[in-house]
Amino acid sequence: MRFRVEDVQETGRTMLLRHKVEVEDPDGRYEVLLDSGSRSQRLVSLLKRTRREI
């Protein structure tokens, strides 16, 4: 399984910064959008640390 994390800017009234996680495995490729909340921040931090270790 491979994944990539990047920040995306939402266009609209709130202009919230969100995170996009792209996951690819033998079954296909998926995109997950996460909001800018604290739980999402912790998950993104974990994924970025894990990616560096692989």
pLDDT digits (tens, 9 = 90+) for 29-39: 998 888 878 88
Q: Over 60: is that where the pLDDT of 54 sits?
A: no
Q: If you average pLDDT over residues 39-45, what whole number do you get?
A: 85
- Quick one: pLDDT band at residue 53, thresholds 50, 70, 90? very low
Structural domain count of the chain: 1
Boundaries of domain holding 15: 2-53
Distance CA 3, CA 38 (A): 21
In percent, the amount of the chain with pLDDT more than 70 equals 78
Distance CA 49, CA 14 (A): 29
